[in-house]
Each structure stands twice: as C-alpha cells, then as structure tokens.
Structure 1
C-alpha cells in the first residue's frame, strides 16, 4: 500500500542523517535541496561536460534510451566523486540503512557481524529532448532480490541534479511507498511522480523503490549523476576493478579504495591469499603488488 503520493523535500543544510533515513524508510526516497554547494556544482559541471559531449546516445530503446547519454566509470573520470560519495547525509544514510547487524554462530560462539558496503554503480545520465520515459523498475533486480523476503535493503542510490529537474525535462520518476510492495504487484506509470528539484539537489532512494528516467518533452537536456552503495557481499553492477585507470586509484583515500572493493570485510568477502594466509585485499595496494588495468 502506498504511504504517500509525493516525494518529501528536506533542506540539506539543516537535516540530520536520522531524518533522511526516517523519510526513506517511510516513502522509499527523499529529496535533499542544496546537497552540493554552488562552487562544487560548478566544478562538477565543468568536469562532466567534455565527458558527456564525447558519449554516444544509447542504442537500447527498451531501457537505456536512444536519446540518452550514459557515461560510467566515474571514479576514474571525475575528481568530484569522493566528495559526493562521502557526503555525510548520503554516506551516513547508506551506512545506517545497509549495515544492519546480524548474529551468526561460529562453533560455540554467537557473534555479531556488520556487513560492509561498496560502490555498486556510477553513471552520468543526460536525457535529451524527445526521449520517452524509462520503464519503471527496482534497481535491486540486479541482485535478483525478493520482497519482502530478505528483511533488509541491498542498495542505497543517489541522483544528483547537475541541471534543474522538472516534470517536463525528464526528472526521475518515483513511486513513493513502492518499497513496501511484494513482488506480485507491478508498477503503473500513473502511480509515479516526477522528481522536481533545482540543480545541486539530490534524490536518495533505495533498491526496492520503483523508479525510472522521465520523458523529456522540453527543449533542453537534463543532466544527473547517479551512484549506488550496495552491500559488499553482492557483486558490483559496474565492475569497479576494471573501471579505474592505473594512475587514478593510488591517489584515492584508503576509505574510498575500500568502498570501490579493494578490501575484505569481517565475513572475508574478497580476500586474497598471500604466503598461505587469507589477507585483506587492500594489502595488494599497500604493497604495490597489483597490476592495475589501463582504461580510457
């Protein structure tokens, strides 16, 4: 049952992580106005423009869009990505929603495990005039997630408005409350609302919320930047190991490197063998022992 028929907008400057999480848990998503400072937004636009200019339109009318440009591998292409990923409201909300502790037995010991999170996908998306609306979907379909069987979320995603988002230019469509639905109920276009927010704002939603790109009936393109934090025990939708250039990864902070997958959690996901021992994958970066890919 849908709990609301609109998206809630909160001021980023005065909103707490708990308030963000409360609205997301109730509605499935929230808009944060003023998510980026004007100077940060201006720099983001400067860095994104040449990337999107050289990106071809999609060829998939079914989902990706034939009048939409999508550019990925953004941690290897944009210096701004760590600032967006580690924004206290987004990063804080993702950790609070995804890092739900669970208790497990290991022999005679019952221990608490807190799952790690990682970057699952990054994309700059530019919807041009004449593009129709995208089919409504749940992003956790990538994990073949079931609802409500798992009792936890697998993804927390953000869409930063690089230009203004309106109902006319393709503002992201969201069905508020759809995160509460089971898998028997399908989405209908008339249930979706358009994300309306000025540039520099951000929409944060969870993997179980039905959404999609809107149709652009205006005369100008709309540009957004999206990324997702996922449970680290799930395969990354976008292969971050092969998306980051050789000379880029060492310059990122250890925290960001680990969020990109260069690390191992308490459940040993992603470990590597060194001298007969199972060790944290980050030691490969520390030792300079990994031959990083050369891309772009």
Structure 2
C-alpha cells in the first residue's frame, strides 16, 4: 500500500484538507523550523528523565510516555496555535448543526478542545502497537457520512523511519464502516524528518511501529476533539489550578476551561450559567452568560 502523501508547510489549507479527506491523514514536511525544533527537543530532554517505562502492551514496555505536556513543554502551545493544524481541526470539528430553540431554527458550531497529550519516546526493542482508531475511546460509530470526533497530530522530534517505529497508518481506513477491521499488512510506516508532522483523523487506523533500530524515536502528540466530548486525558485533574492560571487564555480555553456551544461545561455563578474561564482570571473578571446567545437569537425565549 502506498505511503501517505507528504506536503510542505505552506501548502494551501484546502489542498491539505482534500488529501486528508481522501487518505485519512497527511505528512507535513518542516511543520516546525529548525530553531523551534531545537527548543522543543531541549524542553523534552529536561522533562523526560524521570518518566517511567510503559506497563502494558498498548503503552509499550520499552516506551516512555509523558502526559499533561502543557505544563512541561512550551511548544505544546505552539503546536495547537499552528495555523495549518488549527485550520484542519476547525474544518473537521467545528461543523455547524441546526436545531430548534422554541420556534426558531438555530445553527450552532461546536468548539474543539485538547483531548489528550503526550511525548512518546519509543526505544529499541519495542514491538508494534495494535492498530486502532483514536475515537474508540468514545465507542464512536462509523456509518457512511459520520462526523469526525478528533484530529490528531504527531510532531517528529527525531526522524521517523520504517525501522525505528515510525507510526503505522492504514490510508483510507477513515472511510471504513465498523464491520471492517485492519490488517497489519495494510498499514504503512510514517517516514518523515525531524520537525515534520503527521496529522490524521480519529477514524483512521494507526499504531506505533516496531523499533528494530539502535536509536529511540521521539514524537509529540496532541489530539484536538469535539468540545462536547469528555476528554480522554482529564485536564481538570492533570493540571494544578496554579499552573492553569499561568497559561495564556487561549490555552486555558483549549484545555477545557471554556464552554462549547450551546452550554457544555458551564458553571453556576449567582444563578448564571457562566463560562468557567472567569474563575482563572482573578477578582473582578468578566462573567459571560453561556446562554445569552439565545436571547439575541430568539428574544424572550429561555432554555
């Protein structure tokens, strides 16, 4: 089976999306420039020494995984802010849906949020991970025309090769229904230079490859998910509140301290179904009513 298509980072967004819609994933060459990559590698080298080995066949026994990376890796924020990755996530996830609110038919688009993060360091001797779909964490179903739940990225911190465990991907498998399972021979290894990135959909079968080389393979991975789904990695317990308060507001929101329309994730504040971000901003912060949008769309109506 042919490998995934490789495009350069300045490829127009619509062309990248067309490849992903066809194949379920794409490789972006030089997603990060050399200076950003060097800074990222230095951050990882500082954060990883105390990370333990995996303890199961899925996580790997010769693999180290560091979670909650926004508190360790400054360039995690750089990744989710990258216009290409953000544009792809918006296209596949922020799809408007219409429904009635009283007698008015309204159209609302969900936001997306960070669902899982990890630095994955696969060492020599590690075997292949079982092929899987990331959206399996929600027991997502795949009838024809289904919507995607996740857009995942794997930034290559070292070169990815067929020998060192480059992520195995089954091109086109995002189009399969739930009666078809993957075969190992249908998967192709992701081969890309350090600084490049693999971006794929939650419905695409994939898995870490076997590392039969003499060096480790390091990648940074983040999943961006529909904002109304439960996060795979529980950000509210992973990140101490003191850490979250120090993050920029856009990162706070993408980690889940926000509301997904029409009101998923609100907190009560003096009777208001409020966007929770004000809790991080200190005394005097503006409180936003999550349902005020309906007053504007349908005057006089109440949920």
Name the TM-score class by shorter chain.
over 0.9
Structure 1: gaps spanning 5 or more residues: 290-296
Per the alignment, residue 34 of structure 1 pairs with 30
* Segment drifting more, 139-148 vs 14-23: 14-23
Contact 1:102–1:113, Cα closer than 8 Å, also in 2: yes
Alignment partner, residue 251 of structure 2: 256
Shifted more, 248-257 versus 99-108: the winner is 248-257
Q: Which residue in 2 is equivalent to 1:8?
A: 5
2:173 aligned to 169, 178, 188, which one? 178
TM-score for both structures, normalised by structure 1: 0.93
Identify the range of structure 1 (248-257 vs 80-89) with the bigger mean alpha-carbon deviation. 248-257
Cα offsets for 1:176-214 (capped at 9, x unmatched): 000000111111100000000000000000000000000
Give how far 1:148 is off.
1.9
Look up the SS of the partner of 2:115 in the other structure: strand
* 1:105 corresponds to which of 100, 121, 124: 100
1:247 aligns with 2:258: no
Q: Cα distance, 1:265 vs. partner?
A: 2.5
8 A Cα contact 1:76 1:243, kept in partner: no
Q: Distance in 1 between matches of 2:170 and 2:19?
A: 14
Matched, 1:86 2:81: yes
User: What corresponds to 1:292 in structure 2?
Assistant: none
Paired residue total: 285
RMSD across aligned positions (CA): 1.5
The two structures have a TM-score, normalised by structure 2, of 0.91
| Structure 2 residues without counterparts, runs of 5 or longer | 285-303
Range 165-174 or range 252-261, more displaced: 252-261
Q: Could you say which structure has the larger radius of gyration?
A: 2
Instruction: Show the counterpart of 2:56.
Output: 60
SS at match of 2:70: helix
Residue-by-residue CA offset, 1:262-295 (whole Å, 9 max, x unaligned): 1112210000001111111112112359xxxxxx
What's the CA shift for 1:97?
A: 0.9
Please list every run of at least 4 consecutive aligned residues from structure 1 whose deviation after the TM superposition is greater than 3 angstroms.
none
How far is 1:149 from its partner? Answer: 5.9
Say if 2:245 and 2:281, in contact at 8 Å, map to a contact too. no
SS in 2 for 1:134: coil
CA contact (8 A) 2:144 2:175 kept: no
Bigger shift: residues 49-58 or 143-152: 143-152
- Give the secondary structure class of the aligned counterpart of 1:187: coil
- Cross-structure match for 2:279: 284
Q: Is the 8 A contact 1:120 1:227 kept in 2?
A: yes
